[in-house]
Amino acid sequence: MRTAYSVEKVRAAERDLMARLPDGALMQRAAAGLAVACADLLGRVYGSRVVLLVGSGDNGGDALYAGARLARRGAGVRAVLLTPERAHQGGLAALRAAGGRVSADPRADIGRADLVVDGIVGIGGKGGLRPEAAELAEAARARTVLAVDLPSGVNADTGEVDGTAVRADATVTFGAYKPGLLIDPAREYVGALRLVDIGLDLPDEADVTALQHADVAALLPVPAADSDKYRRGVVGVVAGSARYPGAAVLSVSGALRGGAGAVRYVGPGGDAVIAAHPETLVHAGPPSKAGRVQAWVIGPGLGDNEAAMADVLASDVPVLVDADGLRYLDPARLRARTAPTLLTPHAGEAAALLGAAREEVESARLHAVRELASRYGATVLLKGSSTLIADPEGAAVRVNPTGTGWLATAGSGDVLSGLAGSLLATGLAPLDAASAGAYLHGLAARRAAEKAVPLTACDVAAALPGTWHSLAD
Ligand SMILES: NC(=O)C1=CN([C@@H]2O[C@H](COP(=O)(O)OP(=O)(O)OC[C@H]3O[C@@H](n4cnc5c(N)ncnc54)[C@H](OP(=O)(O)O)[C@@H]3O)[C@@H](O)[C@H]2O)[C@@H](O)CC1
Ligand SMILES: Nc1ncnc2c1ncn2[C@@H]1O[C@H](COP(=O)(O)OP(=O)(O)O)[C@@H](O)[C@H]1O
Ligand SMILES: [K+]
């Protein structure tokens, strides 16, 4: 599991460790890791041109000490000092002693640089970049940029970007991942992310986590030797309408590949579903009369069907609500349920649920997903380029590390709803079903995209069994 910690927790761990170490030891650890990453990016250090963008805090200090190490190995290093009188004195002295210099012509030096090291601001940043810092960030756009701790201008805690920020090709972060580095829009600015261990002792409870292969593999249900289809779990899918029959087929295609032993389809699209997936059990009446299920999925292509929503929410099993189903949600109704509810909105649907604008959700995804989970008393999976999952108890938010832009195709969300609902029916807790579902869905899309693009939602569904198998191996 990859874990990310808020600035407050990183600072606390830093204080504890600093109290036990000689002055400057942590910065030297950081600078050593940074210099190695610079050398990796440069390929050849000797004779290379490196420009350091240096703010007046310790982030600039890291850059200066790393620059000194590169200068000792024969790089031509120039430091652009944002506020010369406040630049890290020890770092500046080390750079000078190693043969590095302060830049007399920042624009020209940046224009010639093989590598720009962004030490403008790190976890001490407040608000958007100030104009002179923003200018440097712009000037470095066309160069190869390595960000120190985080790209200057992105919010380490939230992933929000207020105005101009440095766009890095790579980021070296110290001690712990910061939540913002994993979440869009900031993630777009991070490039290849590397963690340098500086010995921080962090608490067990992270703020954001990302499941990795092994975590997901451990969650995926495996039928026991004496399993039968009912014991594996039955998932009910209430989806599709005369206008959107395809949504029913796509949601069922995900559900059939999510580990449940059987899929019951309820709705007007039974013929289309059976034609595509003859293994489905179909029912045309109300959901409550369809037979026992261990979890419901409701909403994809549903249209106006408030009665079906009321029926499903009245059940005593976990319910995943997606798409059109999200239009009928009442927080009090969800809180009164005896079983958990999982909501899977995209940014537009999340905005409607919050009474906010879509742009507000997209620019502050972490805030939006936490707020939705707490307001609706449900687990919430917020779809998008960095899918986030929050639970109502306020546990660490999960960010999904898989996926590809090719997933932005009509119907791929319908596949995810069936898949995650099926995992719910197998008995996974909502947070796990949602995160394992998003992981498999994103990985399936990546694997399919390696073979052929553009992807369709059907391609994603078809890639799920091979993806599941690759994880379980
Ligand atoms: N954590 C660890 O364990 C370790 C941390 N280490 C390193 O220390 C870094 C933190 O250093 P830090 O605390 O000195 O703050 P830092 O990020 O340099 O920023 C403060 C400076 O930025 C300025 N500034 C603020 N906002 C701004 C804006 N919007 N636009 C422009 N400027 C802005 C602010 O200016 P002021 O407000 O004072 O005028 C001040 O000068 C951390 O990220 C890591 O690199 C490692 O060395 C060792 C282990
Ligand atoms: N830029 C992107 N990068 C990665 N994944 C994306 C991107 N855009 C959308 N997705 C994913 O594609 C799916 C789209 O779902 P959704 O918006 O519900 O579409 P639909 O309603 O057409 O099925 C979600 O899983 C979402 O996370
Ligand atoms: K930085």
**ipTM score assigned to the predicted complex:** 0.96
Report pLDDT digits (tens) over 166-222: 999 999 999 999 999 999 999 999 999 999 999 999 999 999 999 999 999 999 999
- Out of 206, 224, 254, pick the residue that ends a domain: 206
Would you call 129 helix, strand, or coil by DSSP? coil
- Decide: 14 in ligand 1 pocket, CB within 6 A: yes
Is 225 found in the same domain as 113? no
Tell whether 118 and 263 lie within a shared domain.
Answer: no
189 and 224 fall within a common domain: no
Q: Which of 206, 236, 266 is the last residue of a domain?
A: 206
Does residue 219 contact residue 436 with C-beta atoms inside 8 Å?
A: yes
Closest ligand to C-alpha of residue 122 is 1
**CATH assignment of the domain containing 378:** 3.40.1190.20
Are residues 10 and 37 both part of a single domain? yes
Q: How many Å apart are CA 246 and CA 240, to the nearest integer?
A: 7
For the sheet with 170-174, list strands across it.
Answer: 101-102, 76-81, 49-54, 115-119, 145-148, 170-174, 192-196
Residues 60 and 183 in one domain: yes
What range defines the domain where residue 195 resides?
2-206
User: Are 87 and 72 part of one and the same domain?
Assistant: yes
Q: Are residues 394 and 416 in the same domain?
A: yes
In terms of domains, do 220 and 187 share one? no
Contacts of 446 (CB under 8 A, 6+ apart): 402, 403, 404
Please say whether the beta carbons of 189 and 154 come within 8 A. Answer: yes
| 232 and 149 within one domain | no
Does the Cβ of 129 fall within 6 Å of ligand 1? yes
Residues 198, 220, single domain; the answer is no
Atom of ligand 2 nearest to the CA of 384: 27
CATH number at residue 125: 3.40.50.10260
User: 235 and 125 in one domain?
Assistant: no
* Total domains, the chain: 2
Task: Output the CA 21–ligand 3 centroid distance in Å.
Answer: 24
C-alpha 180/C-alpha 5 separation (Å) is 9
Last residue of a domain, one of 206, 230, 259: 206
Q: Could you tell me if 312 and 449 lie in one domain?
A: yes
Ligand 2 atom having least distance to the Cα of 438: 25
- The predicted-structure confidence for 375-423, as pLDDT tens digits, reads as follows 999 999 999 999 999 999 999 999 999 999 999 999 999 999 999 999 9
Binding residue numbers for (6S)-NADPHX? 58-62, 122-128, 149, 247, 301, 346, 414
Task: Tell me the per-residue pLDDT of 254-304, one tens digit each, with 9 for 90 and over.
Answer: 999 999 999 999 999 999 999 999 999 999 999 999 999 999 999 999 999
Mean pLDDT estimate for the chain:
97
